[in-house]
Chain A
Amino acid sequence: MSTTENPVRDAIQGAIGEHEVLLFMKGTPEAPACGFSARTVAALEALGTPFAAVDILPDPRIRQELSNLSNWPTIPQLFVKGELVGGCDIVSEMYESGELAQVLGVEAPADAPDGAPAAAEPGAPPLQIKNNLV
């Protein structure tokens, strides 16, 4: 990626391009710092899908540049294959309707009527990106 005068935006764009499932959140998956981030992490973990996460709290520029890029004002923001899927409300709705599993290309959760997933690895730990955006 070419060098521009906006390294934070470049780093965000790079991360979105590199990680198939990427969550920008407040705090970390182990220690979410906001209820909305926590709910979004819970939906992803319930589907057992590995995901990368970026904590936006350490540097206010991350949130600002992210919102400029995505045209979305709030955190969390879930990206799948480079596209913004939504924030906590949309991700929660999509989890409940089964759409999230579809978008992520995974089996629906075990408690879904037709879900009955084959023994998936129990709780694969979420992939942590080193927060190198600061």
Chain B
Amino acid sequence: MPRPEDLKQRIEAAIPGAQADVTDLTGGGDHFRATVVAAEFAQLSRIEQHRRVYGVFGSDIGGPIHALSLETKAE
């Protein structure tokens, strides 16, 4: 079962300079909320920013990670 720290680590490892703050919404280890700040988001639309973060997890989204609610910011 993924933990918020695991998600945080994966996001920060995949997106250079990103800072992620991840919480487990239900305590069940499958509904998460992440706030991600990354300089590269300045070049991306909001949809593309979310795609970038979802892309870190590939098919884990909809698998072990049932839901990942996102807030993304450039700074």
Contacts and interface: CB of A to CB of B under 8 A. Distances in A.
Contact of A90 (B50, B61, B62): B50
Interface in B31-75: 46-47, 50-51, 54, 61-62, 67-71
Contacts of A29: none
Contacts of B54: 72-74
Given A71-B51, A74-B54, A89 B61 contact: no
Contacts of B69: 36, 88-89
Contact of B68 (A67, A74, A84): A74
Interface in A43-92: 63, 67, 71-74, 84-90
A89 B47 CA distance: 10
B46 A86 contact: yes
**Chain A, interface residues (CB within 8 Å), range:** 10 to 19
A73 B61 CA distance: 7
A85 B46 CA distance: 9
Contact of B62 (A36, A71, A73, A88): A73
Q: Which of A71, A73, A90 has the most CB of B within 10 A?
A: A73
B51 A89 contact: no
Contacts of B68: 74
Interface of A: 36, 63, 67, 71-74, 84-90, 93
